[in-house]
């Protein structure tokens, strides 16, 4: 596609429910990233996928969070047993294949605004 | 650990002024630095990307500079307009053993008054 597509754009869920957030990166972008932006705070790295390599999950805040990337394209971020502190905007970004020092910039999606009530 | 700081946190200027936003980072071993714009309730829009080997990039009224050795970047906006009002984020890309990620500053919230 022309850009990074995220769905849904808004999600309101009850505390304790599971949610799935979807990211469809730009075609040909092998690197995919999830970030979280809580109200009044900066962007927090969550997870990174690069091609067929094992993902970097070091930013996931708890074991309630998981992510998959199927076929090297679409990614799903799953939050189980949601808590109120999970309320945030979840942003997905993709970039072209990393080829050493001349890495390319990111393209971000519009985000999913998650509200846990 | 890489840390990115942006100064000022907020800036309010009258229309037509030239302005400078500042970004500093603690680890100069970066691959690139990127400036983004974020409008309220929206995602991030990439403005300029400076590779580590470059010193500046220009796009229209925007000019970004990079001094890797001192860990600084500036975003210069010429002849500011009300439509420039947004939060401006600076981010550096570093390479780690398992891949690569962006480290963001907290942003500068810009308001351009008509």
Q: What is the mean pLDDT of residues B52-71?
A: 93
Whether residue B99 and residue A107 make contact (CB cut-off 8 A), yes or no, is no
B91 pLDDT exceeds 50? Answer: yes
Q: Which two tokens stand for residue B47?
A: 């403005």
B89 pLDDT exceeds 70? Answer: yes
**Residue that wins the pLDDT comparison between A40 and A18:** A18
Question: What is the torsion angle, in degrees rounded to the nearest 10, for the CA atoms of residue A96, residue A102, residue A107 and residue A112?
Answer: 90
Distance of CA A9 to the CA centre of its chain: 13
- Chain A residue at shortest CA distance from B45: A108
Task: Report the residue from B44, B49, B96 with minimal CB separation from A91.
Answer: B44
B77 pLDDT exceeds 60? Answer: yes
What pLDDT, on the 0 to 100 scale, is given for residue A100?
A: 47
Mutation site for B-interface testing, chosen from A2, A35, A43, A107 by largest number of B Cβ within 10 Å: A43
Write the secondary structure of A76-114 as one string of H (helix), E (strand) and C (coil): EEEECCCCHHHCEEEEEEEECCCCCCCCCCCEECCCEEE
What pLDDT, on the 0 to 100 scale, is given for residue A53?
A: 83
For strands B56-59 and B44-51, give the pairing: unpaired
pLDDT tens-digit readout, A53-112: 888 898 999 999 999 998 878 999 999 999 999 999 999 999 876 554 445 578 899 999
CA distances from B79 to B11, B13, B53, B61, B82 (A): 15, 11, 28, 7, 10
């Amino acid at each position: 596609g022309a850009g990074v597509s995220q769905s849904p754009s808004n999600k309101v869920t009850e505390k304790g429910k599971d949610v799935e957030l979807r990211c469809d990166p730009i075609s040909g972008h092998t690197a995919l990233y999830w970030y979280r932006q809580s109200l009044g705070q900066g962007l927090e790295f969550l997870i990174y996928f690069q091609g067929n390599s094992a993902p970097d999950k070091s930013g996931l805040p708890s074991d309630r969070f998981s992510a998959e990337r199927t076929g090297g394209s679409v990614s799903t971020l799953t939050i189980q047993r949601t808590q109120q502190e999970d309320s945030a905007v979840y942003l997905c970004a993709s970039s072209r294949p990393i080829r050493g020092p001349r890495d390319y910039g990111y393209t971000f999606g519009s985000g999913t605004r998650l509200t846990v009530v | 650990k890489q840390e990115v700081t942006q100064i000022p946190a907020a800036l309010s200027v009258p229309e037509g002024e030239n302005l400078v936003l500042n970004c500093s980072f603690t680890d100069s071993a970066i691959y690139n630095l990127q400036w983004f714009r974020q409008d309220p309730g929206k995602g991030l829009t990439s403005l300029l990307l400076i590779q580590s080997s470059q010193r500046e990039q220009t796009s229209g009224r925007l000019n970004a500079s990079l001094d890797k050795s001192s860990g600084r970047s500036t975003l210069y906006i010429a002849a500011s307009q009300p439509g420039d009002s947004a939060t401006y984020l600076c981010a550096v890309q570093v390479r780690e053993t398992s891949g690569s990620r962006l480290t963001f500053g907290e942003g500068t919230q810009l308001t351009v008054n008509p």
